[in-house]
């Protein structure tokens, strides 16, 4: 049997505005519970919401980044449901007239690029947070109530956990580049719901759509999708049917756990938000917001390929992290051998930084000019590659300048040909059998002899020069 996996994502992104969506309370993570609240975000009687212009601006940036149609007129609605963290008994959101619709995000698969459609971006507010204690009590922290969100709803056009992960990674990178959100999943500023079902391509039978709620890591998204593929495959094989359900991911059991039957649109009783008028955005305002946007990662990648003569893969790796991309560009402004610089970034710099923890910014413990200075030492042959690697390692450990490290460790290469000739002669005298092997046609022995001379010089000799001197003496020139 052949089953097709159909995946759509709903991504909730907390916006990096100074205040909450509809009041002047500070928008910041953490803090003492229930200290960043007011009558508006607590939903007290008589309190009226006022939309922050910053929320609209960030939504417009995101919509622009994902090639969406931005509507000059949209409206807010009330989404009604009961939950302890929802103080008003409803959430202010957008339903049938969202701020932006019909866009896409492109991911790079082995077989080529694939566009994943984005159905809409809507503005809304976040809820509070439930804290469950060991004695079975539940405490409520309402600091997060009213924090501004955009919900990004993809079309169901992903067909594997890998595609979903790549979509999320690129979406997060893009939002960070343009400053819409810090997208820290550990702090909840980016959360993902997965909608997934399977289709039997022979019979056309489909499983009911399952929604897996509030996944807070890319790994959890992957694992939840893989689990659901296996679970729903068994349902198809056994001919069993189930109703649409909402589930959660259990990291301990490594499985999705049913929470409830999935809500329908009617369950939420959507109605226009009477305390907020329609949102009108002029074309001039949109143009102003777009004109002040930061460079998008795809644009930066193209520019890197053109300006720094980088290959597609190299440029893609460098721009995948904004701090790395900015640091590379700053170094390149001081050092013009872009190929050498790229080689060192790809092989030496990136392996010394933590790219796994995407919730934290990458910190380089030295200035871009310092790395450029080290590249000049290597380019001019004043130190060899091994010495350069040692210097870079110490720079990461101590933040010392390359010149200080090179002088302290006596790493400058020898410039005296006479001294190197003496070392070559000494090594040849100590290895007569190697001379015979070379003259018998075993050229590989040359590498051994070069290594012996480098050992004799404590790594200070120029390997290329040593190679030339060895050949000269071995051939009796």
Residue 431 sits in a domain of what CATH number? 1.10.10.410
- Count other C-beta atoms under 10 Å from residue 417's C-beta: 12
Domain presence at residue 27? yes
DSSP state of 312: H
122-169: per-residue pLDDT in tens? Answer: 999 999 988 888 888 889 999 999 999 999 999 999 999 999 999 999
What phi and psi, each to the nearest 5 degrees, are found at residue 131? -115, 115
336 shares a domain with 427: no
Residue 476 has pLDDT above 70, yes or no: no
Q: Has residue 281 been placed in a domain?
A: yes
Q: What SS3 state is found at 3?
A: strand
| pLDDT tens digit sequence for 191-216 | 999 999 999 988 889 999 999 998 88
Residues 398 and 467 in one domain: no
Residue 368 backbone phi and psi in degrees, to 5: -60, -35
If asked whether residues 325 and 465 sit together in one domain, one would say no
Rounded Cα gap, residues 63 and 283, in angstroms:
14
The answer to whether the CB of 244 falls within 8 A of the CB of 209 is yes
In this structure, is residue 178 part of a structural domain?
Answer: yes
280 and 303 share one domain: no
Same domain flag for 361 and 269: no
Alpha carbon 225 to chain centroid distance? 20
User: Are 268 and 137 in the same domain?
Assistant: yes
Domain boundary residue among 408, 426, 450? 408
Q: Average pLDDT of 274-300?
A: 94
Quote the pLDDT of residue 262: 65
Checking 321-325 for CB contacts under 8 A at 24+ apart, the result is 321/173, 321/355, 321/362, 322/173, 322/176, 322/177, 322/297, 323/361, 323/362, 323/363, 323/364, 324/349, 324/350, 324/353, 324/355, 324/362, 325/297, 325/300
Task: Return the pLDDT at 187.
Answer: 86
Does residue 105 lie in a domain region? yes
Bigger pLDDT: 30 or 376? 376
> Residue 8 burial by CB count (10 A; 0-12/13-18/19+): exposed, middle or buried?
buried
Domain count, the chain: 3
On whether both 437 and 363 belong to a single domain, the answer is: no
212 domain residue, yes or no = no
Find the range with the poorest average confidence among 11-20, 72-81, 83-92.
83-92
Cβ-Cβ contacts under 8 Å for 315 (sequence gap 6 or more): 301, 302, 304, 305, 308
Torsion angle of the four alpha carbons 78, 84, 87, 91, in this order, in degrees rounded to the nearest 10 = -20
Range of the domain at 317: 295-408
User: Is residue 73 predicted with pLDDT exceeding 80?
Assistant: yes
pLDDT attached to residue 216 = 84
DSSP 417: H
Quick one: 270 and 303 in the same domain? no
Q: Is residue 206 part of a domain?
A: no
Out of 13-17, 149-153, 431-435, least confident range: 431-435
In a domain, 228, yes or no: no
Of all helices (H) and strands (E), which one includes residue 224?
helix 218-238
Q: Would residue 227 count as lying in a domain?
A: no
Q: CA-to-CA distance for 182 and 15, rounded, in angstroms?
A: 8
In terms of C-beta density within 10 A (0-12 exposed, 13-18 middle, 19 or more buried), how is residue 292 classed? exposed
Instruction: Name every residue whose Cβ is closer than 8 Å to that of residue 328 and which is 6 or more positions away in sequence.
Output: 304, 318, 341, 342, 345
Hey, what are 99's tokens? 């701020």
The pLDDT score that the predictor gives to residue 417 is: 67
- Examine the domain organization and report whether 16 and 165 are in the same domain: yes
Name the residue with higher pLDDT: 420 or 232: 232
For helices 297-307 and 161-177, give the axis angle rounded to 10 degrees: 80
User: Is the domain of 308 the same as that of 284?
Assistant: no
- In a shared domain, residues 400 and 461: no
Please tell me whether residues 388 and 421 are part of one structural domain. Answer: no
Task: Give the predicted TM-score (pTM) of the model.
Answer: 0.84
Cβ contacts of residue 221 below 8 Å, gap of 6+?
A: 161, 164, 165, 168, 192, 194, 215
- Residue whose token pair is 């009911």: 208
Q: Contact 424/473 with Cβ under 8 angstroms? A: yes
pLDDT in tens, 296-342: 999 999 999 999 999 999 999 999 999 999 999 999 999 999 999 99
pLDDT at 470: 79
């Amino acid at each position: 049997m052949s089953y097709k996996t159909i995946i759509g994502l709903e991504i909730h992104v907390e916006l990096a505005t100074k205040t909450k969506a509809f009041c002047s309370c500070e928008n910041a993570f953490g803090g003492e519970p229930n200290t960043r609240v007011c009558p508006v975000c607590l939903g007290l009687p008589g309190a009226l919401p006022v939309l922050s212009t910053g929320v609209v601006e960030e939504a417009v940036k995101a919509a622009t980044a994902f090639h969406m149609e931005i509507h000059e007129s949209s409206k807010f609605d009330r989404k009604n449901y009961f939950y302890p963290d929802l103080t008003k008994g409803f959430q202010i959101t957008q339903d049938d007239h969202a701020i932006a619709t019909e866009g896409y995000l492109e991911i790079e698969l082995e077989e080529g690029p694939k566009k994943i459609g984005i159905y809409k971006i809507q503005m809304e507010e976040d809820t509070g947070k439930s804290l469950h204690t060991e004695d079975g009590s539940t405490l409520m922290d309402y600091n997060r109530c009213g924090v501004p969100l955009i919900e990004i709803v993809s079309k169901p056009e992903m067909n594997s956990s890998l595609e979903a992960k790549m979509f999320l990674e690129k979406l997060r990178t893009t939002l960070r580049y343009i400053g819409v959100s810090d997208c820290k999943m550990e702090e909840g500023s980016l959360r993902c719901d997965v909608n997934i079902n399977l289709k039997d391509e022979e019979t056309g039978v489909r499983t009911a759509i399952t929604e897996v709620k509030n996944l807070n890591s890319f790994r959890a998204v992957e694992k939840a999708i893989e689990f659901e593929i296996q679970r729903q495959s068994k349902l198809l094989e056994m001919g069993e049917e189930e109703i649409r359900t909402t589930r959660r991911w259990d990291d301990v059991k490594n499985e999705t756990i049913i929470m409830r039957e999935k809500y329908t649109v009617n369950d939420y009783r959507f109605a226009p938000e009477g305390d907020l008028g329609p949102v009108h955005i002029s074309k001039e305002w949109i143009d102003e917001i777009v004109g002040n946007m930061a460079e998008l990662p795809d644009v930066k990648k193209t520019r890197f390929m053109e300006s720094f003569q980088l290959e597609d893969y190299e440029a893609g790796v460098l721009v995948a992290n904004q701090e790395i991309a900015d640091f590379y560009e700053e170094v390149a402004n001081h050092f013009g051998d872009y190929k050498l610089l790229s080689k060192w970034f790809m092989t030496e710099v990136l392996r010394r930084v933590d790219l796994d923890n995407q919730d934290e910014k990458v910190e380089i413990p030295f200035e871009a000019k310092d790395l450029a200075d080290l590249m000049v030492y290597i380019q001019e042959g004043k130190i060899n590659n091994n010495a350069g690697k040692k210097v870079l390692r110490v720079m990461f450990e101590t933040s010392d300048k390359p010149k200080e490290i090179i002088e302290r460790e006596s790493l400058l290469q020898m410039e005296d040909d006479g001294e190197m000739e003496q070392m070559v002669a000494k090594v040849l005298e100590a290895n007569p059998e190697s001379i015979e092997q070379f003259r018998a046609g075993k050229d590989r022995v040359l590498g051994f002899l070069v290594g012996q001379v480098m050992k004799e010089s404590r790594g200070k000799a120029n390997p290329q020069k040593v190679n030339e001197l060895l050949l000269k003496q071995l051939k009796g020139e």
